[in-house]
Amino acid sequence: METVVIAGVGLIGGSFGLALRRAGFRGRIIGVSSPPTIQTATGRGAIDEGAPLAEAVAQADVVLLAQPISIIMRVIPEVAAHLKPGALVTDAGSTKQAIVEEAERHFTPGAFLGGHPMAGKAERGVAVAEASLFEGRPWILTPVRREDEESERARWLESWITAIGARLMVLDPAQHDRVVAAASHLPQLLSSVLAAFLDGAPESALARAAAGPGLHDMTRLALSDAGLWRDICATNQEEIRRLLREYAARLTGLAGRFGPEELDSLFHAANRFASQLRKSRT
């Protein structure tokens, strides 16, 4: 029987524990978090018990680091120091290059396999964790070497990712960061900048009063947590700044050429991407 350690039993970590249980995992699940979180998580059945990081890791066959990116970076040396030979560490951080580079400095080759479950919701914490959180959602693994995802432990992890309903994807860390910059970080910042822009606009109150469902969609991400995004932006800066500039240039170009032909070709390409996105989800 395997022992899984979940470090950071929040929405993602807690949901992973609940999802493992629902999918039939019968091993032990140890959580590493603050005492009140351990209590809630144990009560909800997301973990069996809590333990301090070093003690938990020493017993682990598989460790999921599900803390914020900056905490993951900080605990990597301690996790590496206490890990059993043959055990596997993965993580749930939203950017991968910085984390994987730090992991490469501390783990023996094959002991760390970066990951990123593309799931979440507006609320945070284990209280709102759900066994179904990962269903139909991508779970990206980012091996540095091909062997990293071919070990027995890696196969074990992959089979559970699939068992909990996630869609397994494999990308190299740099490619991951480029792809999520486009699929996630750019949309996040466009939403935040839109909401902040309207917050400061002279017609702000009237715009809120006149808003239809479109503005709601476009500002839902603007409710996201600043702390989480500070970490993401800090660890994927170059890619994000490049996309912000390219996107801004598109907008300026549109403002300059705003005729029916430009609009038709814009809507044509936009319709195509948005329709294909919805097809790929089914």
Binding positions for a copy of itself, 219-238, rule CB under 8 A: 219-226, 229-230, 233-234, 237
Residues 235-254 touching a copy of itself, rule: CB under 8 A, are 237, 240-241, 244-252, 254
Q: Which of 98, 99, 91 is nearest to 140 (CA)?
A: 91
Assign residue 125 a region: left if phi > 0, alpha if psi is -120 to 50, beta otherwise? left
- Smallest separation (angstroms) from a copy of itself to the CB of 221: 5
Based on the shown chain and the rule CB under 8 A, indicate whether residue 277 belongs to the binding site for a copy of itself. yes
Q: Which of 226, 228, 15 is nearest to 125 (CA)?
A: 15
Token reading at 13: 């970590």
Residues 52-111 touching a copy of itself, rule: CB under 8 A, are none
Based on the shown chain and the rule CB under 8 A, indicate whether residue 269 belongs to the binding site for a copy of itself. yes
Residues 138-167 touching a copy of itself, rule: CB under 8 A, are 138, 140, 167
Based on the shown chain and the rule CB under 8 A, indicate whether residue 168 belongs to the binding site for a copy of itself. no
C-beta of 87 vs 221, nearer to a copy of itself: 221
Find the binder of a copy of itself among 29, 169, 170, 282 (CB under 8 A). 169
According to DSSP, residue 90 is labeled E
List residues bridging with 170 in a β-sheet: 141
C-beta of 85 vs 213, nearer to a copy of itself: 213
Q: Contact at 8 Å (CB) between 111 and 83?
A: yes
Q: Exposure of 34 by Cβ count < 10 A (0-12 exposed, 13-18 middle, 19+ buried)?
A: exposed
Q: Exposure of 151 by Cβ count < 10 A (0-12 exposed, 13-18 middle, 19+ buried)?
A: middle
- Smallest separation (angstroms) from a copy of itself to the CB of 50: 29
Could you give the CA distance from residue 192 to residue 212 in angstroms, rounded to a whole number?
18
Based on the shown chain and the rule CB under 8 A, indicate whether residue 174 belongs to the binding site for a copy of itself. no
C-beta of 53 vs 228, nearer to a copy of itself: 228
Q: Which stretch binds a copy of itself (CB under 8 A): 71-79, 115-123, 125-133, 147-155?
A: 115-123
C-beta of 25 vs 229, nearer to a copy of itself: 229
| Residue count of the chain | 282
Q: Which stretch binds a copy of itself (CB under 8 A): 4-12, 23-31, 33-41, 274-282?
A: 274-282
Strand duo 62-65 + 49-50: pairing = unpaired
C-beta of 54 vs 174, nearer to a copy of itself: 174
Based on the shown chain and the rule CB under 8 A, indicate whether residue 1 belongs to the binding site for a copy of itself. no
C-beta of 58 vs 168, nearer to a copy of itself: 168
Token reading at 280: 């790929």
Q: Residue type for 129, please?
A: A
Find the binder of a copy of itself among 48, 132, 137, 156 (CB under 8 A). 137
Token reading at 126: 């284990």
C-beta of 39 vs 162, nearer to a copy of itself: 162
C-beta of 59 vs 224, nearer to a copy of itself: 224
Q: Contact at 8 Å (CB) between 191 and 220?
A: yes
Residues 186-205 touching a copy of itself, rule: CB under 8 A, are 186-201, 203-204
Token reading at 166: 């996630």
Residue for token digits 């003690």?
55
